[in-house]
Each structure stands twice: as C-alpha cells, then as structure tokens.
Structure 1
Amino acid sequence: MKSFGSVAFGAALVVAAFSGAPAFAQTKIAIGCTATTDCASAAVALEDGIFKKNGLDAELVLIGLNSNIPAALLSDSIQIGGPTPSVFLQAADGGLDLVAVAGASSTAKSTVDSAAVVTPAGSAVKDAKDFEGKKVGAPGIGAFLHVLFSQWLIDKGVDPKKVNFVEVTFPTMNDVLKSGAVDAVVTAEPMLSRIVGSGTGTVAGYYLESIPDGRPQILYASTRSWADANPEALTAFRASIDEAAKIVNADPEKAKGAISRFTKIPLDVLSKMKLSVSDPKIEAEQLEWWVGVMDRQDMLQLKPDAANLIQK
C-alpha cells in the first residue's frame, strides 16, 4: 500500500505537468534598475507572473545611480541590469565584459517631453548659454540623460565642459534643487512631473527633441559569462520582456501601477505623465548611433564593436 506522502507527491507532479508550471526549482535572477519608467517591462513581467510562468524566480532591485549598474553586475549582486547605452558602452570601453541581452525602452517623438533640464522656480537660467558655469545635477555622469543633455548643449553652441556636472540620484533631485545645492537637474519621468508639480522647478529645455526615434534609452545587460552560462534563463528573460512590453504599450495605466510599487513613487504622480516606449529590440545599429554621439564628446578611448556587444 502506498503511503499518503507518495500519493501526494505523485499528485503534485501530475498537477504541475498539466498546469504548465515548472515542477522544480526556478532560476533565480535579480534585475537592477533606477527609479524611472524605462524598466516598466520588467516591473510588469514580475507583477503579472510572466517571469514565473517562464521559469524565473525574479526580483527587482532599485539602484540609486545608473552608473552603479555595471559594478553591481560584476559583483553578481544583480544578474541583469538596466544601464543606459552610454553607461554600458563606457563600461565595455573600459574593459568590462558586458553584453546587451534585450531592449527596455527607446526614444519616440511622442515622449520627448518625458525628460528635461529643470531649474528652480524663478531662476534666471533661460537658454543653453546660461548653463555655462552652473552646477547641474545628473543621475549618473556618462549616463543617458547626461550625455544627451551635453549633446543638446553642443548643438546650441555651448561647450558642456563649461558646465559643472555632479551626480544626484533621482529620489533626491527635488530636495537638492529646492535647497539650492545645484542650479539645475537633468531629469526624467516620473521625477520630472514630481518636481514641476510640487512647484520646486520649471522646465528650461526638452533636450530629446532632436533625437531620432528608436534609439535605446535603457537596455538590459548582463556579464558575458552569466549570459553564456545561462542560455535557458536568458531565453526565458527575453520571452518575458517581449510579452510584458506589449502590455506596457497597450495598457500604460497598468504599467504605471507596477512602476509605482517598484519605485515607491506615488501613483498620483505617475498618472499625470507619459511612459517611455517599451521596446525589447536591441540591434547593433542602435548601439552604433550611441557610439557616434559619445565619440563626439570624447567619452570613448576605443571604438567598441557594437555587434560583439549584443548576446545572440
């Protein structure tokens, strides 16, 4: 006669087989992102059980500065991170063996007002030339917002080297601007709406206006060694992000709820803003555009091979 435990175990296997759920332990991954809307696909994939359905035991880790993500990947405190292309390319240029594994968000004309340089209410800073000699806070030196704001200055005839950039995390931007510790902050949603809505600052310029569509804002990356050692987990991650990206773009209100719970930014702030376009694609041509932008700002020692930096 079979014991009750044996019968129960057998029944559990049958249920697992017919439910489509993994019968055994799932692959654990920690995914690190900063407090922006760009990792909405990961937030939705976690909340909707998409990662779990695809065999991943995933968690989201909030990272203060985007420039800290490569170090977090190397230390294995996270296995996948959401760096900006510029942070990713600088890390690779510096010898870190990282690879892009999927896209997170990309530029679009409909979302150019989702990032801006913001000055304190009543500031005399009105145009690009006024930023010379000023202290400007950015959420990561060399990250997406810093690089594209610098490009905006160049396009308007201002040398970004004449601006004093300092790193300021997204969650502290409102207080830092209010205190007068900086003359401006280079920010993005959802922090942009929060700063303007509180009356702390006003928009001095939308510097994404001249950027072509379809350029990555945030990409998902890992170490090459982790990607090579975990092909099944990587396939599951990509499938999850692809499914979740469709949900984000079709149902932004649902995505805002997931972002709010991850970043702890109030939903009433998020409800007033646009989400970045969720785009799971990442191709060499997209990274090559970024290499060109960064090369013009003397940010790279070498010229990275964009195709070699994308995990197949």
Structure 2
Amino acid sequence: MTKILTAASVAAVLAAGPLQAQNKIQIGCTATSDCASAMVAVDEGLFKKHGLDGEMVLIRINSNIPAAILSNSIQIGGPTSTVFLQAADGGLDLVAVAGASIMSPASNANITAFVRNGITINAPKDFVGKKVGAPGLGAFLHVLFVKWLVEKGVDPKAVNFVEVTFPTMSDIIKSGGVDAVLTAEPFVTRMTNAGLGSVGARYAVDLARSEPIIFYAAARDWAEKNPDTIRRFRAAIAEGAVIVNNDREKTSASISKFTKQPIELVKATPPNKSEPDLKSEQLGWWIEIMSTQKMLQTKLDLSRLILNHQK
C-alpha cells in the first residue's frame, strides 16, 4: 500500500511541474497606477488563489509593451488604448483580455500638462511653439492632448512633441530640456513639491470622457491556447479591481511598491478607477479620434479586438 501511495505522490509531483510552469505569467506595465488591479492581485495573493504565479514587470515606455508581448518577454501587458489600437492597425495580432483602468470625473483631474518654471501658459494657444514631452508618442496622454488642442482650435503640428519617460520627467523639466510634460499623478505632485513648475492645463477634465485608459492584452495565439489561464487571470483581476476601488491603503502600498514612488505621494491621489469588464464599443471613440489624427491606416474590426467578445 505504501508503494502505491509513493508512486501516486511522484506522479502528482511530475504532473504539477508543467502545470505550474504553464500558469506562470509575467504582466508588463509602466510606472503608473493604471495596472493597480494586477499589482494588488500579486501582493494580495489573488493570482495564487486562482492557481496562477503572477509577476509584475516594469516597462519604461508604454509603446514598448506590444513588442514585449509578442517576444514573450511578458505574456500579458497593459498598453494604453491608443498603443494597442496602433499595434493592431500595424498588423500585430494582439487581443484584449480584461479591462484595467478607465477615465472618470474623479481621476481626470490627475492628468495634466505640467509646465516648467519660466514658461507661462494661460490658454491652449500658448502651447504653440513649445517643446512638450509625452510618455510615448501616440500613447494615451499624447493622443488625448492632441484631441484637446484640436477642440480648442490649436493646430497640434505647431507643437513640438518629444518622448520623455515618466521617471525622467522631473530631471528634464528641471534642466529645461522641455517646456512642458504630459503627465499624471503622483508625478504632478512630486514635481510641484520640488518647485519645478506648475500645472498648465488639466485637459482631461475639459474632455470629460469615461473610455478605457489601459487594458490587459496578450498575443492572440497565446491567449487562445491558454483559455484556462485567461479565465483565472480575469477572475483575479476582477477581485483586484474591487480592492483598488475600495481600499486605498492596500492599493497605495501596491502602487508604491511597483512604481517606486514614495507612499505619501501615492496616497495623496486616488488611482484611476479600475474596471475589469471591457466592451468593444468602448474602443469606438478611440478609433474615431485616432482616425481623425491619421494614426490608423486600416478599418479595425471591433469584434476581434477583445477575446471571446467579453461582455
């Protein structure tokens, strides 16, 4: 009887090895609060609860996330809506698997154009001729700012946009390398407290939208081959979203840990609202404004952008 139990135990261990390897996932995001549901899912053991070994990976620029997904450096990433749609437009076979963050009245004020000392911005037209740093050209903050300029009657081509990563914004503002940066909290408070400048515009407040900011995406081939992993991931993210939207202490701790931002700064600003459910029509507005900005060359099929037509 003992030999039978031992043999069964060995068989179970051997069987568990490949399963654990298959269920290990790396989730790549930039240093913002938008992937807070995944951060919390790691720290609060929600991935483990659902049989996954989840690990967060810091990606410096959001536009690098699609390439990281397709190279299998990460299995799931948090691209902004705009980066995802550009990648799909370019022929990269990515698919959204769950929602991460959305714009909302409570958090839109966190998004700003922060202006260095010595530069005066009294109206949208004052950005003409200025050098403005964006955390990825074609990324969420950049496209949203261009939309705002157009609505305010300003030609975006009259603004000089350059890429500046979130972690380097303080230094480049301080050195005068750019006149302004498109950023969000807690970076706004950090630069304000350091006396580097002031808020020039809260353009997301003016636009007053509620579409997705960031959602979780994967390579279509990988996602379709791992439906159980996707199911478990979605379940953990859904539980993580409840914590993000209701428990500032736990959420702030997770955001601070991943982004390396001081906990006091993270606590000072609520994270963007976490919304795990994602519907294809929510991407329609992004497709419309990106098409207007001539950022898309093809007609994207909304029915194929979200795995299993998630409701």
For Structure 1 versus Structure 2, the TM-score category normalised by the shorter chain is over 0.9
Are 1:170 and 2:166 matched, yes or no? yes
Once residues 165 and 116 of structure 2 are traced to their aligned partners in structure 1, the CA distance between those partners, rounded to angstroms, is 17
Judge conservation of contact 1:137–1:166 (CA < 8 Å) in 2.
yes
Once residues 91 and 118 of structure 1 are traced to their aligned partners in structure 2, the CA distance between those partners, rounded to angstroms, is 28
Judge conservation of contact 2:108–2:208 (CA < 8 Å) in 1.
no
* Structure 2 counterpart SS, 1:237: helix
- Please name the residue that 2:28 is paired with: 32
Q: CA RMSD in A?
A: 2.2
- Please name the residue that 2:234 is paired with: 238
- Please name the residue that 1:189 is paired with: 185
Residue 256 of structure 1 is aligned with which of 225, 245, 252? 252
Are 1:289 and 2:285 matched, yes or no? yes
Once residues 84 and 18 of structure 2 are traced to their aligned partners in structure 1, the CA distance between those partners, rounded to angstroms, is 36
Are 1:303 and 2:284 matched, yes or no? no
Residues 1:160 and 1:86: Cα distance change in structure 2 (over 3 Å): same
Q: Which amino acid aligns with 2:295?
A: M
Are 1:87 and 2:83 matched, yes or no? yes
Gaps of 5+ in 1: 14-20
Report percent identity of matched pairs.
54
Judge conservation of contact 1:39–1:104 (CA < 8 Å) in 2.
yes
1:228 shift after superposition: 0.6
* Structure 1 counterpart SS, 2:173: helix
Judge conservation of contact 2:33–2:255 (CA < 8 Å) in 1.
yes
Judge conservation of contact 1:22–1:55 (CA < 8 Å) in 2.
no
Gaps of 5+ in 2: none
Judge conservation of contact 1:215–1:286 (CA < 8 Å) in 2.
yes
Superposed CA deviations along residues 117-164 of structure 1, whole A, max 9, x for unmatched, are 000134223321111111110001000000001111111110111111
Once residues 300 and 256 of structure 1 are traced to their aligned partners in structure 2, the CA distance between those partners, rounded to angstroms, is 36
Alignment of 1:73-222 (within 5 A): 73-222=69-218
Higher helix share: 2
* Structure 2 counterpart SS, 1:109: coil
- Please name the residue that 1:16 is paired with: none
Residue 48 of structure 1 is aligned with which of 44, 50, 53? 44
* TM-score relative to the length of structure 1: 0.92
Once residues 221 and 100 of structure 2 are traced to their aligned partners in structure 1, the CA distance between those partners, rounded to angstroms, is 21
Are 1:272 and 2:268 matched, yes or no? yes
* TM-score relative to the length of structure 2: 0.92
1:253 shift after superposition: 2.2
Once residues 225 and 42 of structure 2 are traced to their aligned partners in structure 1, the CA distance between those partners, rounded to angstroms, is 23
Judge conservation of contact 2:148–2:207 (CA < 8 Å) in 1.
no
* Structure 1 counterpart SS, 2:56: strand
Once residues 110 and 93 of structure 1 are traced to their aligned partners in structure 2, the CA distance between those partners, rounded to angstroms, is 31
